[in-house]
Amino acid sequence: MTVPATAIYFTAYDQLKAFLCGRALISDLYAPMVAGALARLGTVTVVSPLELMRTKLQARHVSYRELGACVRAAVAQGGWRSLWLGWGPTALRDVPFSALYWFNYELVKSWLNGLRPKDQTSVGVSFVAGGISGTVAAVLTLPFDVVKTQRQVALGAMEAVRVNPLHVGSTWLLLRRIRAESGTKGLFAGFLPRIIKAAPSCAIMISTYEFGKSFFQRLNQDRLLGS
């Protein structure tokens, strides 16, 4: 799930950002935010069936051979739309996360690059900017992650006892219910684990991506000069 999601996500982001800036459809300041949101929306839509399969594997402890039968049974019972169960909460968490992440990342990266003599972004700058941006985005979108987790837990429990999933209400209803039962603190449950996960993963992912992009750009330039 992660490999195609990452490939689609970064490719879509770069292409959308270049398109928005090249056509002057939006200011350069907000282009990363819009491109990040659209790229994540498309990625979530494509990968959502794979995430549902992962949830079924975790909930029912089935083998990969049995997974095909589970998917066919779900499609037969609920149609093809059932493969996108949970798409809403995932999109509400990941799309704002991506928009906030790229907006803050480009700002922090520009600020850090302004303190350096070189124009080219270093791996260290990307690492720090990615960690800071990932932390901010993770904190602000944590309530949606709580809702998504609760839905996955409920789905897992129903799958474990072979009960058909019930309609659990909209994301906004679940947010209000959590707040009524546990207060505002309940919306930010798992704060520390999410930060511990998001900050280093975002830092490693973006710094590796920036390094790889710079490496292959130099490689392509060298090939063009040599030919």
The CA-based angle 26-125-145, given to 5 degrees, is 65
- Compute how many other C-beta atoms are within 10 angstroms of the C-beta atom of residue 176: 12
- Phi and psi angles of residue 118, each rounded to the nearest 5 degrees, phi first: -90, 155
| Least confident segment among 93-97, 168-172, 203-207 | 168-172
Mean pLDDT on 58-70: 71
pLDDT-derived band at 90, boundaries 50, 70, 90: confident
Contact present, 93 and 44 (Cβ < 8 Å): no
Cβ burial of 97 (10 Å; 0-12, 13-18, 19+) is buried
Percent of the chain with pLDDT over 70: 84
Mean pLDDT on 176-187: 78
Q: Is the pLDDT of residue 99 over 90?
A: yes
pLDDT-derived band at 36, boundaries 50, 70, 90: very high
Q: Is the pLDDT of residue 155 over 70?
A: no
pLDDT tens across 48-58, in order? 888 777 777 76
Mean pLDDT on 79-83: 76
The pLDDT, as a whole number, for residue 161 is: 53
Q: Is the pLDDT of residue 160 over 60?
A: no
Write out the two tokens for 63: 């083998």
**Distance between CA atoms of 44 and 54, rounded to whole angstroms?**
14
- Chain position carrying tokens 């979530």: 44
> pLDDT higher for 200 or 224?
200
Q: Is the pLDDT of residue 88 over 90?
A: no
The pLDDT, as a whole number, for residue 127 is: 94
The pLDDT, as a whole number, for residue 34 is: 95
Averaged pLDDT score across all residues of the chain:
82
- Which residues have CB under 8 Å from 107's CB, separation 6+? none
